Amino acid sequence: MTQLLLLRHAKSEWDNPGLRDIDRPLAPRGQRAAADIARAISDSGLLPDRVLCSPATRTRETLAALRPYLGKENEVIFVDGLYESSPRDYLRAITQLGGDADTLMVIGHNPATQGTAMALAGAGEPAILADIAAKYPTGGLTVIAFDRDDWMGMTERSGRVTRFIKPRDLEAEPSGKDHQD
C-alpha cells in the first residue's frame, strides 16, 4: 500500500507587487502555518520517504518547515513541472518520480493540488471529499491511500482519501493534533 500527501504551500506574502510570482515568500502567518502542519505531519506519523516540490520560493519555504522532521534518507526532488501546472502534470510527476516511496509528498500550488486530490479520490468520507472540493486552503494537506505498491500506472479515482488537514483547524486545537473534517 502507498500513501500520497498533497500539500498546498502555506500563505504567501503579497506586499511586494514588483516581485515575480515564483519568488513570493511565505507571509508570517504562512510561516506559522507551515510549522503547524509540519508538526501535525510528524505527530501523525505521515512523514514521506520522498518529496516532490515546486521550485517556487513559497513551496521551498513550506518544505523548510518540514525538514527538521525528515531523516537524511528522505529524498527531495524539485520539479519545475509542479509550478504553473495542472492536475495532469502532477499525476505525471507522481507516476514518473514516485519511485519506490511508500509515502510520497507533493508540495505545490492551487488549483492543481485541489484538482489532483479530486481526480485521485475514488473513495473516502463524503464530508471530507466535500470539504476538499469546496476549498483547498493554503497549507492544506490531503492524505490519499492506494491499494498498490508502486506509483507507475496509478489512475484517476484509484485512491481513498483518509484525511484533510487544514492549518486553521490546527490553530484551534491546543494539542496541535490533526483531526478528520
pLDDT tens-digit readout, 136-155: 999 999 999 999 999 998 89
For range 55-78, the mean pLDDT: 94
Q: For 164, list phi and psi in degrees, rounded to 5.
A: -140, 110
pLDDT at 71: 80
The pLDDT assigned to 177 comes to 43
SS3 category, 6: strand
Length of the chain equals: 181
More confident residue, 72 or 24: 24
* Strand pairing category for 141-146 and 159-165: antiparallel
Residue 5 β-bridge partners: 105, 143
Q: 179 pLDDT exceeds 80?
A: no
Q: Is the dihedral of CA 88, 90, 92, 95 positive or negative?
A: negative
- Residue 37: which of 172, 142, 170 has the closest Cα? 170
Q: Which amino acid is at 87?
A: P
Picking from 33, 13, 10, the residue whose alpha carbon sits closest to that of residue 168 is 33
Residue 157, Cβ neighbours under 10 Å: how many?
10
Q: Which of 44, 41, 62 lies closest to 52 in space, CA to CA?
A: 62
The pTM of this model reads: 0.93
